[in-house]
Structure 1
């Protein structure tokens, strides 16, 4: 694939991130457009996102994958990025994952999280991510170490993968289907920070959430 013109859209799956969104949305690189896929927030996240100039997509179907995919469908740029909305990742780093796709040197780029502080990544979540990384490498043959919630790829190509998971298995299914399709998948380092005060990861914030995520991802690998 050749180079791509334009500036990427950025999908932020969102559930009750009012405390983080102002910082997150003001950190977008120039020209990048935010699409906040609100998954039923009750803390005013959708209004905060709109007030900061984001396109807000209301997603009634609960699930991380449901929000992420609705944001992907709402995007209009040729290249789409994904990023968590809890301030654990700096949107200012988005060009690190987007530029190889824009340049046509990669089809899917994942941001490998590098914690800036030991509190950024709870031990139970780090262990689970390591185990999933091993399974992912066995399944795909790709030299990857992290599922990378900050990522970038071409919109039409992503839609063409036919991703069906609408829960926490969505990011992993994207990688496995991309691998099966022969995509050039790369990994780049990005900083990973403690989340904004008053927010907690829906994925790794608790042991229960981590177990639920691992269960969803194991189902993807089993398929």
Structure 2
């Protein structure tokens, strides 16, 4: 049975480019249904998308994360192909993104931009930020990904049903990647071309605001997904600081059988207690994670096969 494919385009004020994007993907994937999820644009994005043959759905809650969550909840298709509406991703690469899913090689395929992009497509800070975030995630989650924040990706309907999306803004791509890894799905990367926005099209990405949200997302998921590592590291830190703070008082007692540095000793004891509390929290959360994964696995089995068709 032929897989049902949906092209999903999250949009906010993309009037200059949305018509071309819809046309390009309808040509590249003639059997697919093209959806434009309009985030209450103040220009003619929705009208132009409809005129060019897209199915338009409006999302009232502001933020790209809200739009992506809505897309994953409402669209019924075997494969979802998500792409930005700013005409920076060529439709010619669409089949290369979908093919690994059709071949049952991956649950999500990410179009990596850092190898094949025009010099004007990235701001210098964005390149640096992407690489820093990529390095951090590869260390924390023990993976070898090359582009964490790409907006061009394909994934299965099964993944869409089983991966939560809580991000509000442009950190949603990072969350999608991390949640996919955490829930045990397979990610494959495919190099794609990435070009500069056409004239008249403005980026909604704010470097420092959205960058801080990305880091906060990584922090939260790391804390939840790797509690032993996170709270264990804190426990070691508190223990070392506690030992340093208490050491003068301990040495005074050994040498003179009395303690003059009581404040530091109390601080040291408090930090050691905090160390044991942190370690205990990590162990408890790890046990809860194991149980939750077991329950999730059973629910997935009860819900049917990973792939349809």
Shared fold (TM-score greater than 0.5)?
A: yes
2:94 aligned residue: 94
Counterpart for residue 211 of structure 2: 214
Partner of 1:142: 143
**In 1, distance between residues paired with 2:33 and 2:129?**
32
Q: CA deviation at 1:145?
A: 1.4
Q: Deviations over 1:169-197 (max 9, x none)?
A: 21111111111122111111000011121
In 1, Cα distance between equivalents of 2:172 and 2:194:
20
Structure 1 CA distance for aligned equivalents of residues 33 and 141 of structure 2: 32
* Secondary structure of the structure 2 residue equivalent to 1:120: coil
| Root-mean-square deviation over aligned CA pairs | 1.5
Distance 2:117 2:178 in 1: 28
More helix by share: 2
- Measured in 2, the distance between the counterparts of 1:63 and 1:159 equals 21
Which structure has more relative contact order (CA 8 Å, sep 6+)? It is 1
Structure 2 equivalent of residue 8 of structure 1: 5
Equivalent runs, 1:1-223 vs 2, <5 Å: 5-28=2-25, 29=28, 30-113=30-113, 114-147=115-148, 148-203=150-205, 209-223=206-220
Report the TM-score when normalising by structure 2. 0.67
- Contact kept, 8 Å, 1:36 with 1:71, in 2: the verdict is no
| TM-score, length of structure 1 as denominator length | 0.91
Are the equivalent residues in 2 in contact too, given 1:49–1:56 (CA < 8 A)?
yes
Q: Which has the larger radius of gyration?
A: 2
Identify the range of structure 1 (162-171 vs 81-90) with the bigger mean alpha-carbon deviation.
Answer: 162-171
Distance 2:189 2:121 in 1: 20
CA-CA distance at 1:19 after TM superposition: 0.5
Aligned length: 215
Structure with a larger share of its residues in strand: 1
